[in-house]
A and B are shown apart, each in its own frame.
Chain A
Amino acid sequence: MKIMVAVKQVVSLDEDFELRADGRDVDPDFFVRDLNEWDDFSLEEAVKIKEAAGAAEVVAVCIGSDEADDVLRKCLAKGADRAIRVWDDAIEGSDPIAIARILAAVAKRESPDLLFAGVQSSDQAFAATGIATGAFLDWPHAAVLTQLNYTPGATRAVFRRELEGGLLHEVEIHCPAVLTIQLGINTPRYASLRSIKQAAAKPIEVLAPGDLGLSDAEIGEAGSASRVRRMFVPDKAQAQLLEGDAAAQADKLAAIIRDFKGEAA
């Protein structure tokens, strides 16, 4: 019995940041890196299933450069049994489709009973990687789970999804399956710094796309369905605080409206 959990190292930004020279992303100097919040929940869900069953293996998989080892160590500290990181400079520029192709290749190699991914990543929010992986694998898949019942070894899993209007969906799915996990499905545990340090002793398996039988044409920009053209900060909308007593404020507001309509003052 095995659960594979796809995790991503996301970035958040400093207050003041600069864009990269090519204008397609933020300068990495301004990144603060962390484990994607959704993936924290999906890892916790996998570890909970493992702990309830006693015998199960949780494999955390991340696609990223060696900086991403930090998030894998966090996963190991929280209870993942193994960690796999896939990287090659050629992966740079991959969109969710290319990433999903790599994850699917790892899943074929690992053949897990379930594959978890977060609903989305907090930095890019495509919300596509998990489902695209399911498509590449041609496995049943479902998105935005808020509750999951699965007994390791079972051929089916039952889960719930929240729908609009306060409705709940209860769904049964055949395994192996790809499931994307929503925030709040559980309470992720705290990984103490000590446990993270101890996890450093556990090996992280590093694979190149070639190890998975992937060619350069299948990854990076070449293997992507989309390409980022540019990243920019939109012009700020104007806002103005009207001061003075009610009459003065009303006068100013009226002036602004007249101005907006193009009327003379």
Chain B
Amino acid sequence: MEQLVLGAPPTVNGNDAVTRILFEQFSAFEVRLFYAIGYAAIAVFLYGIYVQIRKYRRGAALVLEGGLWSRFGDMVSEVLSHRRLDRRDPAAGGAHRLIFYGFVLLFIGTSTITLQVDILQPLFGVRFWHGEFYLWFSLVLDVAGVMLIGGLLYMMVRRGWLKPPKLDYARPDRSPGDPDFDRPQYRREDWAFLWILVVIGCTGYLLEAARLVWLEARPEVWETRWWSPVGALLAEGLTEAGLTAHGGGELRLGLWWFHGLLALAFIALIPFTKVKHVFTSMGSLLARDPLAAQRLPRIPESLETPGVTKITDFNWKQLLNLDACTKCGRCHEACPARAVGAPLSPRDVILSLREFAKSTLEYGTLPSAAELDVHGKSPGQVAQETLWSCRTCMACVEICPVAVEHVPIIVQLRRKLVEEGAMDPLLTKTLQTIHKTGNSFGESKRKRAAWTKALPFAVKDARKEPVDVLWFVGDYASFDPRNQRVTQIFATLLHEAGVDFGILFEGESNAGNDVRRVGEEGLYELLAGANIAALATASFNRIVTTDPHSYNTIRNEYPDFGGKYPIVHYTSFVAELFAAGRLKVTAPLSYRATFHDPCHLGRYNKGYEAPRDVLKLLGCELVEMGRNRANSFCCGAGGGRIWIPDPVGAEKPAQNRIKEAAAIADLDVYVVSCPKDLTMFEDALKTTGNEGKFVVKELIELIREAT
């Protein structure tokens, strides 16, 4: 492809003859004009970069953990492998890979010309861009151009004909007629981006062909033309069509300016358009927190108001996250709230805030604090109902190809709402209850271990005698009558396997995982502190928990409060007991079963395999639902939503999920491994009319059946 470069025409002689003709037709004035335009484009580009960096710097401070080099290495490997882009949309990933590598090769190629013409040759007299190097260069860049155009054409087909729903910009949190409902300006920008790149690519080839026809008399050009195969083919066509050498020269000159100005305009516009994602996505990946949702940020003591009120309360990385979003729609597709019609799409939270930051932080002076308030219903603001729709299931964070971390952004916004008391009255009540009693059921602390009374053996009090395994039971497993039966079975299994275990009795409080995700950080600190203090009075080797929510916060968040413990979820622990022969399958099950990954065990903590291994060990035939493992579909109870009533009449996430399971032919058991899941899905089984077709069971219950 034809390359544009800033530099004086090289002398054409002898060995150097095989090279690219750059400015041969140009007067000195034209060359200077082109340079002037080139510098202007670069100046606009640099100014744009400055404006963007100034915007990010207006956010709150944040010091990234971990070494820069390991972050850099991870980022480069993500970018080069395109691993995240392939996920759940391999065609788009493949097309993007073509565009990316095509673009990168063309960029490097162009840079080598500049390297010689503008730097090495004038300063050191070094020239390398001729002869064999040039021929390979021509070939590689011709192939790169095909990749680029091919990828772009697929993207056009995708946007124009395939129209995947995730690329529909209509917002679930706005109504038709609202100024920011379906954002046609985004569609125009998408198409402008695709067309400009396609036109730049195609005119590059035409330009190359015109040059070949123009210089067909020069053997060093004409004889080597097949090193630019696309250009050479086009040149054959043009000649067939009657283009003369003179005509080729004329055509080349016109195309040269068109192609050149378009390319320079593209460069100048990078920081102001969606093209900036080439930089922002890399920045976002570089700043990625692998525990973004699992370990929420603490509130510094010095902070006057907790959470985020103003756009500038977000830290620079979060502002960068907003700009990294490419509107790919993967989070929009994965979000369980969006799937059931709740007024939330993680994509639109990010895009809304991005528009807000753009309209407030890209100017020389900052607007007043009132104009920086991101809470509300005006364009760019985020509504309460949107924030309270989130299940903090982490599906969005997990699938985002550019490391946008939606969950901490949403929780930071909720912290402000909690501080104001702007939440559902039932949630308010529950938080007060948890504060008062230490559990969400409003039961007396003394009743926490009441379920042990029905057991034929005594459960040790880990605060009074040392135990090998401390079992953190959690609220639902302790107080919910249906879950208590499972809890009693698990205690019996441990007892029979000879495990030396104990519990904290009334010393245990709600672990706080969901309280923290609601945004009530003060209450979370109280609960975590109480549990850490209770654990300090116990002597144990490790913690086992039957509750994935407790598992997550104890594993990932308690260390920030001084509580560092080895902890396993019961599925891994049971797998160990089977492996050691302490539990034995005596009556293999022949159920056709499917397994639901709990968000906090699966996506949050990558505990995908242990429950499946156990299920297979029990003899069950495991049939996966379409959405499994990292793509598991939240039951709808996370992030405090279990304490907030769902809208009447609308589908609930758990119902959506049960319908997915119901599509499995001859399903016997829908297996869960989380107390909240048991409650949510038994309810959904009834309300979707699937009762009698299959049953919802805790894995623990199946283990009991088989051992």
Contact = CB atoms under 8 A, between A and B. Distances in A.
Contacts of B418: 190, 192
B421 A189 contact: yes
Interface stretch (B241-249, B364-372, B516-524): B516-524
B526 A193 contact: yes
Given A34-B436, A189-B421, A194 B522 contact: yes
B520 A192 contact: yes
Most B CB contacts (10 A, CB to CB) among A15, A191, A194, A195 go to A194
Interface residues of A, number: 15
A44 to B, nearest CB: 10
Contacts of A191: 421
Interface stretch (B319-327, B423-431, B594-602, B664-672): B423-431
B525 interface: yes
A238 interface: no
Contacts of B421: 189-192
Contacts of A14: 444, 446
Nearest to A196: B522
Nearest to B422: A190
A16 interface: yes
A197 interface: yes
A187 B421 CA distance: 10
Nearest to B446: A14
A31 to B, nearest CB: 11
Interface in A1-50: 14-16, 32, 34
B299 interface: yes
Contacts of A195: 419, 522
B459 to A, nearest CB: 19
Given A32-B444, A194-B299, A197-B522, A187 B436 contact: no
Contact of A194 (B428, B431, B521): B521
Contacts of A190: 418, 421, 423, 428, 431-432
A32 B437 contact: yes
Interface string A161-193: 000000000000000000000000001011111
Contacts of B447: 15
A189 B431 CA distance: 12
Given A189-B421, A190-B423, A194-B299, A15 B446 contact: yes
B174 interface: no
B435 interface: yes
Q: Per DSSP, are chain B's interface residues mostly helix, strand or loop, or mixed?
A: helix
B306 interface: yes
A194 B431 CA distance: 13
Contacts of B431: 190
A145 B331 CA distance: 50
B525 A193 contact: yes
A15 B428 CA distance: 24
Given A14-B446, A15-B447, A32-B437, A187 B525 contact: no
Contacts of B526: 193
A16 B446 contact: yes
Contacts of A193: 435, 520-523, 525-526
B419 A194 contact: yes
A230 to B, nearest CB: 25
Contacts of B444: 14-15, 32
A15 B425 CA distance: 26
Contacts of B419: 192, 194-195
Nearest to B437: A32
Nearest to B428: A190
B436 A32 contact: yes
A195 B437 CA distance: 19
A194 B525 CA distance: 9
Given A15-B447, A34-B436, A192 B522 contact: yes
B300 to A, nearest CB: 12
Nearest to B526: A193
A223 to B, nearest CB: 32
A138 to B, nearest CB: 38
A14 B438 CA distance: 13
Nearest to B522: A193
A28 to B, nearest CB: 15
Nearest to A78: B421
Nearest to B423: A190
A39 B425 CA distance: 18
Nearest to A194: B522
Nearest to B444: A14
Nearest to A77: B522
Contacts of B420: 189
Most B CB contacts (10 A, CB to CB) among A34, A187, A190 go to A190
A192 B425 CA distance: 14
Nearest to A195: B419
Contacts of B436: 32, 34
Nearest to A15: B444
Nearest to B527: A193
Interface in B285-315: 299, 306
A241 to B, nearest CB: 19
A187 B520 contact: no
B425 A187 contact: yes
Interface in B511-556: 520-523, 525-526
B306 to A, nearest CB: 6
A194 B447 CA distance: 28
A190 B446 CA distance: 26
Contacts of A197: 522
Interface in A186-237: 187, 189-197
Contacts of A187: 425
19 contacts: A14-B444, A15-B447, A16-B446, A32-B437, A32-B444, A34-B436, A189-B420, A189-B421, A190-B431, A191-B421, A192-B418, A192-B522, A193-B435, A194-B299, A194-B306, A194-B522, A195-B419, A196-B522, A197-B522
Given A15-B447, A32-B437, A192-B523, 12 more contacts: A14-B444, A15-B444, A189-B421, A192-B418, A192-B522, A193-B435, A193-B521, A193-B522, A193-B523, A193-B525, A194-B521, A195-B419
Going nearest first, the 8 A-B pairs with the smallest beta carbon separation are: A193-B522, A194-B522, A190-B421, A14-B444, A189-B421, A193-B523, A190-B428, A192-B419
Interface of B: 299, 306, 418-421, 423, 425, 428, 431-432, 435-437, 444, 446-447, 520-523, 525-526
